[in-house]
Amino acid sequence: MTDSVKLTCTTCGQTNRIPRARLAESPRCGSCGDPLVAGKVAELDPATHDKAIRADDLPLLVDYWAPWCGPCRMMAPEFAKAASQLAPQARLAKLNTQDHPDIATRARIQGIPALVLYHRGREIARLTGARPAADIVAFVRAKAPAAA
């Protein structure tokens, strides 16, 4: 596979290599069978978060949120809309900062909701505050690498 991408399964944490040309065909994890680029928001645990931001070849936008945060809950449906619009060019995921404060500290999250765009182990850009889907999509398209 000369032109392939590595993706971490957000369900089981397994690394998968997918031909870039097949990303739009709803590829599934070779280990657990769950979709890898479904256009839906995935909930991350700390291990999967760390592995995905470090290794994935597609841009990954992580929403750092908490259940008690009103703006976070208000933005959730907009974030889901953005996920469906950005697939298969990027994946969107969430990390609960209340359950995983150590990850939020390491990611230097100072307020929520906070959106951080990662690509191949690097933070590319940040966006804070609740945003409509159109703003989230425009942010990712403007900041994500063109060859992603």
What are the structural domain ranges in the chain?
38-143
Predicted confidence (pLDDT) at residue 148 exceeds the cutoff of 80: no
Q: Which residue in 46, 42, 72 sits closest to 58, CA to CA?
A: 42
Q: Average pLDDT of 67-72?
A: 96
**pLDDT interval class at 1 (50, 70, 90):** very low
Q: Average pLDDT of 131-142?
A: 96
Interval 77-118: pLDDT, tens: 999 999 999 999 999 999 999 999 999 999 999 999 999 999
Q: Reduced to 3 DSSP states, what percent helix, strand and coil does the chain have, rounded to the nearest 5?
A: 35, 25, 40
pLDDT at 57: 93
pLDDT at 146: 64
Quote the tokens at residue 73: 């809950």
Quote the tokens at residue 105: 């500290």
Count of beta carbons in the 10 Å neighbourhood of residue 68: 9
Interval 111-134: pLDDT, tens: 999 999 999 989 999 999 999 999
Q: Which residues are catalytic?
A: 69, 72
Q: Return the CATH fold of 38-143.
A: Glutaredoxin (3.40.30)
Residue, of 21 and 77, whose pLDDT is higher: 77
User: What's the predicted TM-score (pTM) here?
Assistant: 0.93
pLDDT at 2: 52
Q: Is 39 strand, coil or helix?
A: coil
Q: Is 101 strand, coil or helix?
A: helix
**pLDDT interval class at 147 (50, 70, 90):** very low
pLDDT at 138: 97
The string of DSSP letters for 45-99 reads: PHHHHHHHHHH-SS-EEEEEE-TT-HHHHHHHHHHHHHHHHHTTT-EEEEEETTT
